Chain A
Amino acid sequence: MEKPKAIVDREVCLACGGCISVCPKDAITMIAKKACVNKEKCTGCEICIKTCPVGAIYWEGN
């Protein structure tokens, strides 16, 4: 089965950029003042989910 991907809740994200700076695959970009995960690049490592100070990133489908 394919690994799950991270997804950002745009209502919760406060655009701090922490997830972007730790993403080992450079899969996250700030677009229209919210972090945005590139699903093609995301490998589901979970680092961004754990890093988010407001809990705005979760597994897609959850």
Chain B
Amino acid sequence: MKNPLDSLWGTVIAGFVLTIILYYIVKTAIGG
């Protein structure tokens, strides 16, 4: 499997995916 960080746009997409994952983790932690 190709490392997404080798591609600039793969890096940007990885950043947005991580944002969504952390968003739901924090939202759950807050109890929202």
Q: State yes or no: do A and B come from one complex.
A: no
- Residues of A near any B CB (own CB < 8 A): none
- Residues of B near any A CB (own CB < 8 A): none
